[in-house]
Amino acid sequence: MTYFPEEVVEHIFDFLGSHRDRNAVSTVCKAWYHVERFSRRNVFVGNCYAIRPERVMARFPGMKSLSVKGKPHFADYNLVPYDWGGFALPWINAAVRRCPGLEDLRLKRMVVTDDDLDLLARSFPNFRSLVLVSCEGFSTDGLAAIATYCRGLRELDLQENEVEDHGRQWLSCFHESCTSLVSLNFACLKGEVNAGVLERLVARCPNLRSLKLNRAVSVESLNEIVARAPYLVDLGTGSFAVDHHTDAYQRLMNSFSKCKSLSSLSGFWEASPHCLDAVYPVCINLTVLNMSYAPAIQADDLIKLISLCFKLQKLWVLDCIGDKGLAVVASTCKELQELRVFPSDIYGAGATSVTEEGLVAISSGCPKLNSLLYFCYQMTNAALITVAKNCPHFTRFRLCILDPWKPDPVTNQPLDEGFGAIVRSCKNLRRLSLSGLLTDQVFLYIGLYAKCLEMLSIAFAGDSDKGMVYILKGCKNLRKLEIRDCPFGDFALLNDVAKYETMRSLWMSSCDVTLGGCKALAAKMPRLNVEIINESEGSDKLEENISDLHKAEKMYVYRTVAGPRNDAPDFVWTL
Amino acid sequence: MGDQSNSPSSSIDSSSHPALCSPSSIFQTRRDLLSTDLKLGLGLSTSALHGCSSKEREQLSHWPPIKPLLRSTLEEKVHRSHSKTFFVKVYMEGLPIGRKLDLFSHNGYDSLMRTLRRMFRTTITCPDTSRVPPEKAHVLTYEDEEGDWMMVGDVPWEFFLRTVKRLKITRADKC
């Protein structure tokens, strides 16, 4: 390939879409490394502490689009303390110095402050797209800075962030001349916005295709918006609190019937049963429907809605849909690829919920299903075996049985055979989450069959160290392993320490690993950061007299070329 | 968690399941605590958690694995309907003795009207759709959280449940 001029090689590399492919070609030879690094436009950093930002920017001077992830995944479930880390500032600073042509920034599970957003807004004249997912540390003041200074902003997408509300004026900061918005998502904001400002913003952005309103946006406002943006493709409805006896409701129904392009709906925060009728006209075009924030909508109304959605590809619902509702999904939504069923009653007995029957119905009715997240109160081996047979194409299979250690209620057996069938049948499985009563046997199966597995989440499972050893030995492509409340200890942790350099990260909490075990791991593997999160009162330093036999409550291990991080708070000990 | 005590899941005898024959004692304690916790719902009762460290208590409450936005949406729904009943006083104009009515046992205004008509043996109408002459008709009003008396039926049912304090059936010609 060195016979080709660099422009030709670069052009060939243009066809490589994924980061992994580009990473792979850059290791072939020096020439390819150089061509690749100057031509890479999209840079993805899976762990912000794995490499220093300056090094990334130095290697890819042509970077236009940066995506960085911070905290470990279990931070989503409050297992990581608030000020653990994952700060955006070093990355923004480095980009300001080295890559002023930055256009897109995507941050996930990171701490972003208002000052960071202000710096970002003022520093990149070509900035087009900001996506913040599960971030925290900023307020609407930071959003005001983005709105004010990012002329030409095309996308502001805020997903599931913790945003402090400092008032409604941030939206007014979008200049009158700002007409470039394509996507605006502020569904996670708690505060109000000025309805008139919002409506005018929507009216002057002819390219707006995705708009997700927050709960505070009233139906009257929604009406105005939908009337002015009939080309919307993706809509988050805001509160949707409307009495179906009113004129407002009639107007809403008329507006929706004019939205010929609408294919994705979400929101419905305050929706009550009868008002869903307004949405019926768009159902036949829907490919994405997210009703997971509408606990007032019960099975019968969901069924009426879904039975019109023949083209649905992605469905997120609460478990009040019931097995009956899932049967309707199975018979109607033949194009379904992704299903998520969330629990609606996390305190109760699950009187209205789904069981293994619903899942079996879906598996037999929806041949294209490849991604599942399913919360339920019970599951049987027989059902899982049937699902495995019906759906060999799963790439993501996450089952959460809400009672830990719950066995198959019919046979009283662990669910090893059921999950074993899943991994045996689904040869392309990349992500798996386990639950229910599970012995070491299930890990034997996973190690044996789940050769494509990249991410595994385990909770309240296994009998002994053997379980974890099976996983580490068998899953050649494992990148992320997260474990909580399992009886895995130092033997499993230290069994194959080199393995962790082939992975992005390992999380273990409430397991049996000890401080001594973690120290041993850190000593053997200098290119891993072994962090212990210690939250007990009065222990801010790694005391000499804390015994090595003391259990490590929370341990996070990740490969890095950046060395131990210098921004760790007192309760995080890097060994 | 309702009938948890009767289901097979929570009462596995450690001797009947081989995998449970030799768990670590800490692990067994955690299991018992967790299943007790789930039985009591996530309102952690101090007596059930006696002897449980604050760390363990915190650990037990990071379950199920759902994101904060969904969790707060569901918790709000629970707070709203935390009691399974919501009794409000109902007076009819001219009658000194009132009644009590459980609003949670109704799923909307229609159902509420039917019950009230039965209770007070009178026609209660929505004033705009009324065909009965105003002197004879009664309308339903309610006192909201700000102390104002409002016509029932203008806001969505869920909203109404959040703000209503008591009900009064008044003569239509007073409205």
Chain B residues lying within 8 Å of A487, measured CB to CB: 23-24, 27
Given a cut of 80, whether residue B11 has pLDDT beyond it is no
Given a cut of 70, whether residue A409 has pLDDT beyond it is yes
H/E run at residue A432:
strand A431-433
Q: For residues B1 and A48, what is the distance between their CA atoms, to the nearest angstrom? A: 41
pLDDT in tens, B100-143: 988 887 877 877 887 888 788 777 765 555 455 555 678 889 99
Q: In whole angstroms, how far apart are CA A81 and each of A104, A217, A239, A565?
A: 29, 32, 31, 17
Q: For residues A212 and A175, what is the distance between their CA atoms, to the nearest angstrom? A: 20
Total H helices, total E strands in chain A: 20, 23
Which tokens belong to B76? Answer: 């709000």
Between A329 and A253, where is the model more confident? A329
The CB density around residue A196, as the number of other CB atoms within 10 Å, is 11
Q: For residues A556 and A144, what is the distance between their CA atoms, to the nearest angstrom? A: 36
With beta carbons less than 8 A apart as the criterion, state whether A202 and A229 touch: yes
Q: For residues A314 and B89, what is the distance between their CA atoms, to the nearest angstrom? A: 46
Q: What is the per-residue pLDDT for A270? A: 87
The CB density around residue A267, as the number of other CB atoms within 10 Å, is 23
Contacts by residues A13-22 (CB-CB < 8 Å, ≥ 24 positions apart)? A13/A39, A14/A39, A19/A43, A19/A44
Average pLDDT over residues A400-423: 95
Q: For residues A39 and A29, what is the distance between their CA atoms, to the nearest angstrom? A: 16
DSSP state for residue A76 in the 8-state scheme? G
Chain A residues lying within 8 Å of B41, measured CB to CB: 347-348
Q: Could you give the angle at the alpha carbon of A405 between the alpha carbons of A432 and A416, nearest 5°?
A: 50
Q: pLDDT-derived band of residue B8, with 50, 70 and 90 as boundaries?
A: very low
φ/ψ of residue A568, rounded to 5: -70, 135
Chain A: closest CA distance from residue B111 (Å): 14
With beta carbons less than 8 A apart as the criterion, state whether A445 and A421 touch: no
DSSP state for residue A181 in the 8-state scheme? -
Average pLDDT over residues A37-44: 93
With beta carbons less than 8 A apart as the criterion, state whether A496 and A539 touch: no
Average pLDDT over residues A327-334: 97
Q: pLDDT-derived band of residue A274, with 50, 70 and 90 as boundaries?
A: confident
Chain A residues lying within 8 Å of B68, measured CB to CB: 76, 78, 160, 162
Q: What is the per-residue pLDDT for A298? A: 87
pLDDT in tens, A477-531: 999 999 999 999 999 999 999 999 999 999 999 999 999 999 999 999 999 999 9
Q: What is the per-residue pLDDT for B60? A: 53
Percent of chain A past pLDDT 70, that is, above it, reads 97
Q: Which among A160, A242, A269 has CB closest to B67?
A: A160
Q: For residues A301 and A269, what is the distance between their CA atoms, to the nearest angstrom? A: 15
3-state DSSP assignment of residue A298 = coil
- CA-based nearest residue to B64, from A345, A29, A335, A392: A345
3-state DSSP assignment of residue B83 = coil
Q: Which among B17, B55, B70 has CB closest to A553?
A: B55
Q: In whole angstroms, how far apart are CA A39 and each of A14, A42, A54, A59?
A: 8, 9, 18, 11
Q: What is the per-residue pLDDT for B15? A: 40
Q: What is the per-residue pLDDT for B40? A: 39
Q: Is A78 on the interface with B (CB under 8 A)?
A: yes
Look at phi and psi of residue A456 and say left if phi exceeds 0, alpha if psi is from -120 to 50, else beta.
beta
* Residues A288-297: b if buried by 16+ CB within 10 A, e if exposed: bbbbbbbbbb
Q: Is A134 on the interface with B (CB under 8 A)?
A: yes
Which tokens belong to A510? Answer: 């409430």
Which tokens belong to A461? Answer: 């499972």
With beta carbons less than 8 A apart as the criterion, state whether B48 and B36 touch: yes
Chain A: closest CA distance from residue B97 (Å): 32
Interface test with B, best of A76, A77, A412, A508 (most B CBs within 10 A): A77
3-state DSSP assignment of residue B104 = helix
Q: With an 8 Å Cβ cutoff, are B19 and A409 in contact?
A: no
Q: In whole angstroms, how far apart are CA A93 and each of A48, A102, A118, A122, B34?
A: 14, 12, 12, 12, 45
Q: pLDDT-derived band of residue A206, with 50, 70 and 90 as boundaries?
A: very high
pLDDT in tens, A552-571: 999 999 999 999 999 998 88
Chain A residues lying within 8 Å of B43, measured CB to CB: 347
Determine which of A209-223, A287-301, A388-402, B9-23 has the lowest per-residue pLDDT on average.
B9-23
DSSP state for residue A163 in the 8-state scheme? E
Q: Is A27 on the interface with B (CB under 8 A)?
A: no
Q: In whole angstroms, how far apart are CA A249 and each of A162, A245, A365, B56?
A: 32, 7, 35, 49
Q: With an 8 Å Cβ cutoff, are A77 and B55 in contact?
A: no
Q: pLDDT-derived band of residue A241, with 50, 70 and 90 as boundaries?
A: confident
CA A353 to chain CA mean position, Å:
24
Chain B residues lying within 8 Å of A160, measured CB to CB: 67-69
3-state DSSP assignment of residue A411 = coil
Question: Following CA atoms A422, A428, A433, A437 in sequence, which dihedral angle do they give, to the nearest 10 degrees?
Answer: 20
Q: For residues A395 and A77, what is the distance between their CA atoms, to the nearest angstrom? A: 23
Q: Which among A348, A404, A536 has CB closest to B1?
A: A348
Torsion sign across C-alpha atoms A543, A549, A553, A559: positive
Given a cut of 90, whether residue A158 has pLDDT beyond it is yes
pLDDT in tens, A70-129: 999 999 998 998 889 999 999 999 999 999 999 999 999 999 999 999 999 999 999 999
Q: What is the DSSP string of A204-252?
A: H-TT--EEEE-TT--HHHHHHHHHH-TT-SEEEETT----TTSHHHHHH
Q: Which among A76, A296, A404 has CB closest to B158?
A: A296
Q: For residues B169 and B67, what is the distance between their CA atoms, to the nearest angstrom? A: 44
Q: Which amino acid is at B104?
A: F
Between A545 and A244, where is the model more confident? A244
Q: In whole angstroms, how far apart are CA B124 and each of A528, B114, B121, B169?
A: 74, 9, 9, 8
Q: Which residue shows structure tokens 């509420």?
A: B112
Which tokens belong to A40? Answer: 């890479």
pLDDT in tens, B53-110: 444 444 455 888 999 889 888 887 766 655 567 889 999 888 888 989 888 878 778 7
Given a cut of 60, whether residue A307 has pLDDT beyond it is yes
φ/ψ of residue A296, rounded to 5: -80, -10
First-to-final CA distance of chain B: 47
Chain B residues lying within 8 Å of A188, measured CB to CB: 69
Q: For residues A440 and A453, what is the distance between their CA atoms, to the nearest angstrom? A: 18
Q: With an 8 Å Cβ cutoff, are B66 and A342 in contact?
A: yes
Q: What is the per-residue pLDDT for B18? A: 39
Average pLDDT over residues B1-17: 39
Between A287 and B170, where is the model more confident? A287
HEC-encoded secondary structure of A501-564: HHCCEEEEECCECEHHHHHHHHHHCCCEEEEEECCCCCCCCCCCCCCCCCECCEEEEEECCCCC
